[in-house]
Structure 1
């Protein structure tokens, strides 16, 4: 009995001491949480991650992001400070579950044709093999798109000896249609070099971020789309524009930077319709359009995601157990443009099929 009374006395004493502490100490954790301006928490905090491409493989959520690192590379309008050198793969059993880091699955030094900058990748699965599509600059410092192959969604991946023939620019995204066809979407302006190409050919003399950008009253540059070959290693056809248009069917103009394509194309299918979502770059939206075909045209409908903290905005959309999720990144952990962290949140639709816009900030 004495021991029990002593324990009660000590407990009451500790409670009293806690109540005597200044409110600023007692409520520190609560105040910090309440003061957070971010709507969602980072998924990964032990390394910097960005550009998350999410897929459901083997009943799990797999995420294929880029891996941001500290760098001595100078910051410029061509993205030189995004100097990533490898890829990690992450998996989750469920949306609220533990995030597993499967480690580096492909390194720059293991890609024979690449010189630098392993930017945003994507992945696909076919016939028991897994394919990692990635952009990197070749030995002439021009972005090309490569592919690496693995036996597991967690890698490791082995790169093909050369980039995909006819590929250029960056931000590859692979969409698998219901009939088993696979489509590769790609492209990005400014640092992504899309503006340096015409009809798939590099135009000599174009070096700067705006060299080749159409005048503001001309149609904007569009993401490219091409069907993939049966072995998933090449393009089965010449890439064409995945045209983004307004409600009247007119192409979005180059000067319409609230709606025009900048980078980060992603395609998913919902209720029989094809949704092309993408970053508007300097206005920092994730916008989207809807089409009856994977080739487009895609009629602009609004924004999936409003601007995040940080300059870049890059995302993916995936369905898991009859719910849809948006994956994206911001700079909550570092406050630095090139040191980002990935996040996720549920995505919902209106009855008419339009997407309910998500605000990443409270």
Structure 2
């Protein structure tokens, strides 16, 4: 199962694409191109292929690898760490940067060191889809090091640029540079500062997310400033340039070059990619102003234009709603998910908690399509989930009651993290509506489950946080479990993530729940 990202059309209608390139035959797309929680996206073009990755945070498997031929239609084709965490790291898997150099792909990523702070690590592979070999951490400063970005200088020497995470202790945030060996296993020489945030300006408490390119004798750095995440975010995009990597760096007087509009808020943290025809594009994230934090920070694409003054700009200085596509696209106006469990393997877009052991499951196509998910005694149980892509959605699943292990509660839930979820489940002949908030579990109502093999559950979300649950024995007649009164799920999304929806199995380890299918309609 893949999603089509997202919503393009051949049209002569008015758009906010630059007039110089708009035409009656233009193929256009609508943002987001990566609907759902794809924060801090990074992209590289190798030949005619585009490869991208994005933040995983506390959801495994770590760092999706996405492929596209046109920068608009994206498919998840693998992960950097599909089966286990890097040996040295334990949490906060942020801001991967994908690059290609001398026949190898490199992923520079941020993670929290076991018993320590945030570090920038790196993994390498000969193919974009892997397998990747982890090369370990490169830099781990006392207050944390994040957002690594590699670049070669005019002499061809390799450098790492990164942010010192000093805002975590209320201090300014320098962007540092340092030589890196060709093996990507160590930094060498002395580090040097490029620049830092200036209080009293739009940058606020920090600068981060550096992305560098070389153009017309200058190094240009696109960077993000101020608060990245959550309902109170204030992110924007700035640019600075220098003739020498070591500076002096000049910040553009017109910063920020991208800020919020009526549709998208808190844009930032992206990378620049060329289409091979002289056009540059910026792949970055932003929150939908309509659904705010609930689907998370979604992946957007916009063309960069270069002024006669040599500085880059974006149309209207804000995210586009509709724009001309870099290439002809194939995507449909759909972001729905349907998994019948008939393929033998789970789709690459299923996720589970980093903080818990990977759930044990099996897919049984010989049974007409069935997923067996082993239970866990944790508060929410074992979880297999999908990103939500809009604030309004309906998720449904069918549970095979005859295949339900003794003592297992099999369900469907909206999930923030292991301590926060709201769901419906069946256990020991009873259907329950439950919530877990700050690790405290509450059962809101219970009814007797109907007889029969299949029991269907439905979760309907409105505006991201108004949740209603229902059950059905036949998929036609639905019985609401919360009597038409939505449960408020505004507590679900963590500060840096969107809400997932998925399957839960709570109970004794080794017992299992059986699901016949899963559907998510936006």
TM-score by length of 1: 0.69
**Residue 64 in 1 paired to residue 21 in 2?**
no
Alignment match, 1:341: 298
Between Structure 1 and Structure 2, the one with more strand by share is 2
Matching residue within 184, 187, 191 for 2:163: 187
SS of 1:153's equivalent in the other structure is: coil
Alignment match, 1:350: 307
Say if 1:40 and 1:264 are closer, same or farther in 2 by CA, change over 3 A: farther
Using the TM superposition, give the Cα deviation of residue 241 of structure 1 relative to its aligned residue in structure 2, in angstroms. 1.0
- List alignment gaps of at least 5 residues for structure 1: 1-32, 68-81, 196-208, 214-219, 245-251
Alignment match, 2:91: 116
Alignment match, 2:259: 306
Q: How does 1:208-223 map to 2 (within 5 A)?
A: 209=168, 211-213=169-171, 220-223=172-175
Alignment match, 2:138: 164
Using the TM superposition, give the Cα deviation of residue 281 of structure 1 relative to its aligned residue in structure 2, in angstroms. 1.8
Distance 1:259 1:110 in 2: 34
Matching residue within 250, 254, 263 for 2:208: 263
Alignment match, 2:32: 42
**Residue 295 in 1 paired to residue 246 in 2?**
yes
Alignment match, 2:194: 242
Alignment match, 1:229: 181
Using the TM superposition, give the Cα deviation of residue 275 of structure 1 relative to its aligned residue in structure 2, in angstroms. 0.8
Using the TM superposition, give the Cα deviation of residue 327 of structure 1 relative to its aligned residue in structure 2, in angstroms. 0.9
Distance 2:86 2:265 in 1: 30
Alignment match, 2:70: 94
Contact 1:259 1:287 in 2 (8 A): no
Alignment match, 2:496: none
SS of 1:50's equivalent in the other structure is: coil
Alignment match, 1:17: none
Distance 2:147 2:296 in 1: 18
Between Structure 1 and Structure 2, the one with more helix by share is 1
Alignment match, 2:404: none
Using the TM superposition, give the Cα deviation of residue 288 of structure 1 relative to its aligned residue in structure 2, in angstroms. 1.0
Using the TM superposition, give the Cα deviation of residue 221 of structure 1 relative to its aligned residue in structure 2, in angstroms. 3.0
Say if 1:253 and 1:339 are closer, same or farther in 2 by CA, change over 3 A: closer
Using the TM superposition, give the Cα deviation of residue 260 of structure 1 relative to its aligned residue in structure 2, in angstroms. 7.0
Distance 1:134 1:265 in 2: 13
Alignment match, 1:272: 217
Distance 1:41 1:348 in 2: 18
Contact 1:84 1:119 in 2 (8 A): no
Say if 1:307 and 1:233 are closer, same or farther in 2 by CA, change over 3 A: farther
- List alignment gaps of at least 5 residues for structure 2: 1-12, 15-28, 228-233, 322-522
Alignment match, 2:109: 134
Say if 1:84 and 1:279 are closer, same or farther in 2 by CA, change over 3 A: farther
Contact 1:307 1:313 in 2 (8 A): no
Using the TM superposition, give the Cα deviation of residue 116 of structure 1 relative to its aligned residue in structure 2, in angstroms. 0.5
Distance 1:164 1:108 in 2: 22
Say if 1:93 and 1:315 are closer, same or farther in 2 by CA, change over 3 A: same
Q: How does 1:147-162 map to 2 (within 5 A)?
A: 147-160=122-135, 162=136
Contact 2:218 2:241 in 1 (8 A): yes
TM-score by length of 2: 0.49
Distance 2:307 2:294 in 1: 33
Using the TM superposition, give the Cα deviation of residue 280 of structure 1 relative to its aligned residue in structure 2, in angstroms. 1.0
SS of 2:112's equivalent in the other structure is: strand
Distance 1:317 1:240 in 2: 24
Which stretch of structure 1 is more off in the superposition, 134-143 or 258-267?
258-267
SS of 1:297's equivalent in the other structure is: coil
Give a deviation string over 1:318-348, Cα, whole Å, max 9, x none: 2222110011112239531672211111110
Give a deviation string over 1:263-292, Cα, whole Å, max 9, x none: 211111111111112111234221111110
Contact 2:95 2:110 in 1 (8 A): yes
CA RMSD between the two structures:
2.9
Give a deviation string over 1:125-172, Cα, whole Å, max 9, x none: 233222111110011241011111111123232212x41255641111
Alignment match, 1:359: 318
